[in-house]
Amino acid sequence: MTRRGGLSVAVILMYGLLVGGSGVAAAGDGPAPDTLGTSPTLSGLSGLAVTASARTLPPWSMAVGADALYSHLHSPGADHAEGRLSVGLGLPNRVELAALLPAVRTVNDDLNPELPPTGTGVGDLQLAAKWRALHEDETLWPALALAAVVTLPTGQRSKELRTVDDYGVEVKAITSADIDFIPDQFALGLYANIGYFFQDVGRATEEKHATYAFGAALPLLARAGRPFLSPLQVLLEMDGTFKRRDDQDYVTVTPSVRYVGPVTVTAGFQYTVFAHSTIDAGVGGVVQIGVSFL
């Protein structure tokens, strides 16, 4: 099976699971299902470590968070670390706005000209907007949201910390649902994103590719009277790219553990495989801390 065919089958299967199994519904303009609690993420300040959910913050509520990301490539030898601050605001009509600013540290051990040199400084500012278009229904459909993330070239050019010259834009569709295996006792959260990213069209740094992500959340502990809001969950996610040139694609798998309380904390491990590339597999980790103000 080709990678294109495999991706199509995966998307269809994930959508079928979401449609056929959703059993924790949100009616009217009420909140979307919230098995996971709230954790700030680039894709709209609610979701898993790397996969967004269709949930949006309630109107006029805020969420702030801090992320720490680290990755290491074995060959060529390179390290990349980010500390990211994010803030989100819920608006009426199921709209959510978010902003994220990273501090970046790159180390090119092998001095490979294809990789960024060693440098430390402010990275590119990212602005996101998400609109939850459909509520989850018990029998018909999962929740559905549309989102856009804009990357602005605020990174320090002198240290080559910019990822775009003029701009970058990713538009995506997000679907999520809680599958009710044991009525009022146990639910599994499933999430899927598919999008398209483009940057610097018409310039030497022009880039276009599709993006995808899948995620699942498994509650480990049940709270009395609120079994779906488990304070401890195991998360499993996969995300990657699909380009016209298949020598630059990557797939990242991210297993992690999340604690949901007054402050939400997530910590996970990342393993990245590069398709048809001279770059060996990479390893890394992600830690997120977030809190909401209702």
Domain boundaries, the chain: 3-293
Q: By C-alpha distance, which of 228, 241, 250, 140 is closest to 198? A: 241
Write down the residue that tokens 């290491």 correspond to: 72
- What pLDDT is attached to residue 288? 85
Check if the beta carbon of residue 135 is closer than 8 Å to that of residue 28. yes
Token digits for 129?
Answer: 């907007």
Q: What are the strands, taking DSSP E only, across the chain?
A: 62-73, 78-91, 95-108, 119-122, 125-134, 143-152, 168-182, 186-199, 207-219, 232-242, 250-259, 264-274, 282-293
- What pLDDT is attached to residue 42? 46
Check if the beta carbon of residue 112 is closer than 8 Å to that of residue 9. no
- What pLDDT is attached to residue 67? 84
- First-to-last alpha carbon distance for the chain, in angstroms, is 48
Q: How many angstroms separate the CA atoms of 160 and 189, rounded?
A: 39
Give the class (CATH, top level) of 3-293: mainly beta
- What pLDDT is attached to residue 223? 52
Question: Is the pLDDT reported for residue 138 higher than 90?
Answer: no
Q: Lowest-pLDDT range, 80-89, 104-113, 139-148?
A: 104-113
For 98, counting Cβ atoms within 10 Å of its Cβ (0-12 exposed, 13-18 middle, 19+ buried), the class is buried
Q: To the nearest whole number, what is the mean pLDDT of the chain?
A: 76
Among 46-50, 126-130, 160-164, the range with the most confident prediction by mean pLDDT is 126-130
Question: Is the pLDDT reported for residue 126 higher than 80?
Answer: yes
Q: In the chain, what percentage of residues exceed pLDDT 70?
A: 68
Say whether pTM exceeds 0.85.
Answer: no
Write b or e for each residue in 154-191: b if 16 or more Cβ atoms lie within 10 A of its Cβ, otherwise e.
Answer: bbeeebebbbbeeebebebebbbbbbbeeeeeebbbbb
Check if the beta carbon of residue 164 is closer than 8 Å to that of residue 205. yes
- What pLDDT is attached to residue 222? 59
**pLDDT per residue over 237-292, tens digit each?**
999 998 876 567 889 999 999 887 778 888 999 998 888 666 677 899 988 888 77
Q: How many angstroms separate the CA atoms of 284 and 70, rounded?
A: 5
Q: 260 or 227: which carries more pLDDT confidence? A: 260
